[in-house]
Structure 1
Amino acid sequence: MTKTIGKARDAAPGVVLGAEFAPAKINLALHVTGRRADGYHTLDSLVVFAAIGDTIEATTAPRDAAPTLEIDGPFSDGLDAGPDNLVLRAVRAHAAMGGHVEGLHLRLDKQLPVASGIGGGSADAAATLRLLARLAPLPSASTDRQGAVAATLGADVPMCLRSTPLRATGIGEVLTAVAGVPRLPMVLVNPRVAVSTPAVFRRLDRADNSGLPALPSAFADAGALAAWLRATRNDLEAPAIAALPVIAKLVAAVGATEHCLLARMSGSGATVFGLFPDDASTARAAERLAAAHPEWWIVATHSAGS
């Protein structure tokens, strides 16, 4: 059961207060529709969230100590747990809204590849905000500011804060819930090589592309959604491949697996997703991909529906 920080301030250090899951964000489609005067690109994207992700856990620390962070997990190497980490930036943002965060130690279990186009730091920051909303509740006058504060941490943080199927426009901060999205069995594949988001955008040929086509009221199943997605695209896929050519190999390998409905890059890369009709075909595809490419990060998972 989640405890509040206030009730646990006198507990010995190391008492677990609660944890929050930070699911991977999957851009099923991502159209770049413009570029603002400040340099930010506008988007039109259909986003879902997977059953795999990082986890943020909070434990007690000395009563008046400033919040601290440690990072472990398979993708923790090289990550800085200092004040510029998005998790601690989220803690400071929560404190600025009136949340009392002293005497708190956070542990980030990093299960997702870094700089991989599936949320990563944005999902971790959003999970931190959700966790703190339970552990150190905000004054009632501040609760409606959480989404706006999330946007100050990064364009993807507001959508990760909600972690439900969404259509994201603007620079990613204008969010509309999408009903009728089915549970989507999927394989995620990453080459274990990071790709720079700014470098991908610099290689973008044009920014004034069309938005998404009209969304139906509901999709019968994963196959119906994949059929709709074939009329969409990820405008960042070609520039990402130019920056990191191995992404094209991932797309081809995933797309060639039996029963794959659609293979596409997520976000600015380098992670590629493949949609499948059911969990059994997803598991078989992941096994065969892992056997052929043991150097890649490969996982069979699914996204939540709406």
Structure 2
Amino acid sequence: MPALVEEGRAKVNLTLRVVGRRVDGYHDLESVVAFADCADRLTLEPGDTLSLSMTGPLAEACGETSDNLVLKAARLLGEQVADLRVGHFTLEKVLPVAAGIGGGSADAAAALRLLARLNELSLDDDRIRDVALKTGADVPVCLASHACDMTGVGENLLPLALPQLPCVLVNPRVPVATKNVFKALGLRNGELLTGVVDVMMRSSAAWPEEGDAVADWIDALAGGTNDLEAPAARIEPVISDVLSALRNAKGVRLVRMSGSGATCFAIFATDADAQAAGEKLRSAQPGWWVHAGTLS
């Protein structure tokens, strides 16, 4: 059987609100999630043994192969599906690691899609959905790689009709551990970050519908926030430098950090403005990872 290929697209949190911390220690979130046109590439060559090798410019940043979420997802699925067909995965890593854009989660989701294809399983199969959530909170949304309003700990997904948004993504090549950012947020088990009324308003918020203008989406998103931006910037002050550089770009409409950082994004009025800003940032900051493209 020929090799199978999937992409693990970068996930971008356009908004991220921390509702509170549950008694079990997990955080309840509400986040509008989009996906960028940049991605890792995962190949599966069917075989008798589950294995993984990594290539690409950022392969060395992935750490120990045995700890990779691709293998974790495959092993968990093997526990759920008898006689699961597996093989050798090759991961071409181009997305920054520990960057707030779900690179590892996107790779794990790509692995689940590949294994589903190889084993003729539906992505709606309860076993795949269960494994996705057990692998990581961002894996369920990355499984479909479709714009969503995500709530809970990542298990509740409401699809959104997001148009293509011209954007620039910037990562200063400084890894930020998610657990450290949530620790800096400082919520105790069982503590709400917002009042009950505010939580209800957030969960029932109406986003623009299919066919609405890009400007309507930008206006709606501008009313949001990322509650992790401030604590992440305290841990890594360079995040504030990235945000400032993006805010000074010509034609920019919205600037915010994604996830727990350090990747930040800017949405622009036109594709030309996004491309020009990307080129200027690459020239001014050659040590930063910069991608100019679209979100959808």
TM-score normalised per structure 2: 0.90
- Does residue 1:174 correspond to 2:156, yes or no? yes
**Rounded Cα–Cα distance in structure 2 between residues aligned with 1:172 and 1:230:** 22
Give runs of aligned pairs for residues 55-94 of structure 1, distance below 5 A. 55-61=41-47, 64=48, 66-80=49-63, 82-94=65-77
Which residue, 188, 198, 214 being the options, matches 2:169? 188
Verify the 8 A CA contact 2:86 2:115 in the aligned structure 1.
Answer: no
**Rounded Cα–Cα distance in structure 2 between residues aligned with 1:73 and 1:82:** 14
**Rounded Cα–Cα distance in structure 1 between residues aligned with 2:24 and 2:158:** 24
Bigger proportion of residues as helix: 2
Deviation at 1:261, TM superposition (A): 0.6
1:5 corresponding residue in structure 2: none
Match of 1:77, SS state, is: helix
Which residue, 215, 220, 232 being the options, matches 2:212? 220
Aligned length: 284
**Rounded Cα–Cα distance in structure 2 between residues aligned with 1:99 and 1:54:** 29
Deviation at 1:144, TM superposition (A): 3.0
1:260 corresponding residue in structure 2: 252
2:8 corresponding residue in structure 1: 22
CA separation of 1:231 and 1:78: change in aligned 2, threshold 3 A = closer
Deviation at 1:177, TM superposition (A): 1.1
1:273 corresponding residue in structure 2: 265
Deviation at 1:60, TM superposition (A): 4.2
Verify the 8 A CA contact 2:5 2:43 in the aligned structure 1.
Answer: yes
Q: Which runs of 4+ in 1 moved over 4 A?
A: 99-103
CA separation of 1:48 and 1:102: change in aligned 2, threshold 3 A = same
Task: Give the superposed CA RMSD.
Answer: 1.8
Q: Which runs of 5+ in 2 are unaligned?
A: none
1:151 corresponding residue in structure 2: 133
Aligned residue identity for 1:185:
P
Deviation at 1:137, TM superposition (A): 2.2
Deviation at 1:178, TM superposition (A): 1.6
Verify the 8 A CA contact 2:85 2:119 in the aligned structure 1.
Answer: no
Deviation at 1:58, TM superposition (A): 1.1
Aligned residue identity for 1:40:
Y
Give runs of aligned pairs for residues 1-306 of structure 1, distance below 5 A. 8=1, 16-61=2-47, 64=48, 66-80=49-63, 82-98=65-81, 100-101=83-84, 104-138=87-121, 143-179=125-161, 181-205=162-186, 207-209=192-194, 210-211=198-199, 212=202, 213-218=205-210, 220-304=212-296
Verify the 8 A CA contact 2:9 2:106 in the aligned structure 1.
Answer: yes
**Rounded Cα–Cα distance in structure 1 between residues aligned with 2:13 and 2:231:** 16
Q: Deviations over 1:183-234 (max 9, x none)?
A: 1111000000101111111111555234534323346333321211121100
TM-score normalised per structure 1: 0.88
Deviation at 1:264, TM superposition (A): 0.4
Q: Deviations over 1:211-263 (max 9, x none)?
A: 53432334633332121112110000000000000001101101110001101
Aligned residue identity for 1:97:
Q
**Rounded Cα–Cα distance in structure 1 between residues aligned with 2:257 and 2:120:** 37
**Rounded Cα–Cα distance in structure 2 between residues aligned with 1:219 and 1:293:** 37
Verify the 8 A CA contact 1:147 1:158 in the aligned structure 2.
Answer: yes
Q: Which runs of 5+ in 1 are unaligned?
A: 1-7, 9-15
Match of 1:189, SS state, is: strand
Deviation at 1:72, TM superposition (A): 1.1
